[in-house]
Structure 1
């Protein structure tokens, strides 16, 4: 159990999140304040992650129009706020002594949206100041009360390797919208990159009949380039190579933004 004063703990959590949240200028946490159900009116979007590791509740990060607009205008297509905010939620969770589940974007503009109900009651708000109030971290009082000793990044990596990722938290609300800004905001955003050798279709009967040693025929001829997908979007093709006993991809073709997946 954390021995820090809840207000100081909330500010320490916000500082950890601010260090990795995409922003044009460095973010500095303002003093923690009691949360208001109207806090979402000052922001353009947000994301939530439920916590694991014995720490109750969830953490929310709200972001302004700069980041939301940059994600919407990305050359890789309209990116989810949850992808941009996940590292900040991870950092916040580690400071609370837990782990963040997969983030879910929030549509804070939907009619009837109630941040207090989503967080299960009273919460603290810590604004993050950059060029103005760029973002905010929301932490339920129950989460601050149930916080544990901070987890180091090395320990978090060991836990992640040993523990199967739990099912993501799915709130009852969706996603938000734009107002132009530069790509510099997205430089540090983690993206899921996949190399696909090919695809096939199978009946349920054939799937159930699969056994070790079975060979599946894909829709690619031997020697055909593999696809490089970023968050499910096709962006390049290349040749599969071996690098120090690991597979790699030598990119041979970059596709334009209109390429179909």
Structure 2
């Protein structure tokens, strides 16, 4: 069970938005205090031969980046859906659409028996939660769990500013810290950590309204009149929100959209 939990958590770590690489560290039994260090949570149902729930807990960096995102349709559930998909696939199932939940409801949603795997970067950046019966019943044959990393070696990283050693003559020498000009800059934080998140992009030619009677009377060959005049630009929607308009074009026998206008927030009604 532990190896499978680590494999699932490492699969999530590879796709979870983060400012630094994450690694799974030390699976452990879940308890009522598991959400204490986090600011957001998303849960998904697992199916595809399995039945259960999985969750991802995230810290302030991701929730603050989402709050500052100009794309309102991008919420926590959408941002961590790829991570939940990766967990479910490793367990041998598939994840349904994620939902954002309040932190104080996570434990009750998962029940008493679940496993927690912290995801470590500079500190504990996130955690993966998996109901125990999914670990007992699931498992993709292709999954190769990464070796566990002791949490105590990563949760409290120690910065060494100088190192004292003893030479062959018995004299103590001290190595000074590297000059500031040689220090590797910290990764850019904020909205850029969301750059790898997948979003649903839709091109809409137009809409119409129909009664149930007319809808049931549709047959092949029927023509629907849309609320858009011929030659009018099509709408580009991201997660259901209008962000641009453009002209429909054909690219290598596939339809495409040539963007002609970026829609300002104040222009969206």
Residue in 1 that maps onto 2:199 = 191
Provide, for residues 104-127 of structure 1, a one-character-per-residue CA deviation record: whole Å limited to 9, x for no partner. 111225xxx2x3331233111111
Q: Return 5+ residue gaps in structure 1 as ranges.
A: 1-5, 153-180
Q: 1:78 Cα deviation (Å)?
A: 5.7
- State the superposition RMSD in angstroms: 1.6
**Which of 206, 221, 224 is matched with 1:213 structurally?**
221
The whole-number CA distance in structure 2 between the counterparts of 1:102 and 1:61 is 13
Task: Find the structure with the greater CA-based Rg.
Answer: 2
The whole-number CA distance in structure 2 between the counterparts of 1:100 and 1:242 is 34
**Which of 248, 254, 267 is matched with 1:259 structurally?**
267
Residue in 1 that maps onto 2:15 = 20
Please list, as runs of the form range in 1=range in 2, the aligned pairs for 1:1-261 lying within 5 A after superposition.
Answer: 6-77=1-72, 79-109=74-104, 113=105, 115-150=106-141, 182-260=190-268
TM-score, normalising length from structure 2? 0.79
Provide, for residues 85-117 of structure 1, a one-character-per-residue CA deviation record: whole Å limited to 9, x for no partner. 0111111111111111111111225xxx2x333
8 Å Cα contact 1:13/1:95 also seen in 2? yes
Q: 1:138 Cα deviation (Å)?
A: 0.3
Q: 1:212 Cα deviation (Å)?
A: 1.4
The whole-number CA distance in structure 2 between the counterparts of 1:223 and 1:78 is 28
Provide, for residues 25-66 of structure 1, a one-character-per-residue CA deviation record: whole Å limited to 9, x for no partner. 111111111101221222111111111222231210011111
Q: Return 5+ residue gaps in structure 2 as ranges.
A: 144-188
